[in-house]
Amino acid sequence: AVKKMRGQPGTKVTLTIFRKGVDKPFKVEIVRDIIKVKSVKTKELENGKIGYIRLTQFQENSADEFEKALKQFKNKEGIIIDLRNNPGGLLTSAVSIASMLLPKGKLIVYTQGRDPKNKEEFYSESDPIVPKDVPIAVIVNKGSASASEILTGALKDHKRAIIVGDTTFGKASVQTLIPLQDGSGIKLTVAHYYTPNGNLIMNKGITPDIIVKMTEEEEIAKAKAEREAKISGKDDIAKDPQLEAAVNAIHRLAKK
């Protein structure tokens, strides 16, 4: 069905829709186009005192979206960055976003293989957007992986953010594909990512400063609420102990 729906932008396709509560199926004609999925969602918490940024993945346009959100919230009492269930994405995007939060020239992450000479370092490229006295909390869980862990590790090691939630997935490796004669290939891990303090991310993950685990029932309820919120356009109102802990952490840090 998905293959049949796909096509050149500007061309038309007719969908036959079966809808609950409607006796007969009906047809809708739509025009194909390139769909740009936003990876950054924002809202205000605590009567506008705290800015909340949900980053779902690290795409090509994520850094630009994140920058707009930061500029919107940079004068708040604090900022919460939600990286839960973010599977990662582009390293360049993670480095760009970290550069908006850390002083220029700070080490963000480095890769290291078996040969100590094959070490590549990535540094923050610009001055931070958020003033250093504005506290930041990052929420992570076991679904936060790869680029999410790189960003989290950098902010934790440089003490720029307090990390809340559950230990991250532990997936951060550099792989290369070796093509074979039959058209298949072998994917080899040639290096791993390390946080600025030299902590290996692979198979270990990032341990939060404040550990708050959610029960399976709470996670299911939250996922359901998020789906319903997307449809209705209303805020997710499910119980969220990790978000509550992040809000409390911001309030404590703001008072210091």
Catalytic residue annotation: 146, 157, 171
Residues with Cβ < 8 Å from 189, sequence gap 6 or more?
A: 173, 174, 175
Look up residue 197 and give its two tokens. Answer: 């303090």
> Any idea which residue has 């829709």 for tokens?
17
Pairing of strands 40-45, 50-55: antiparallel
Give CA separation, 86 vs 40, 89, 186, in Å.
Answer: 11, 9, 27
What is the rounded distance in angstroms from the CA atom of residue 80 to the CA atom of residue 78? Answer: 7
Q: Please list the residues that pair with 50 across neighbouring strands.
A: 45, 78
Query: 163, 245 in Cβ contact below 8 A?
Result: no
Residue with tokens 């969908």: 15
48: left (phi > 0), else alpha (psi -120 to 50), else beta?
left
Residue 41, strand partner residues: 54
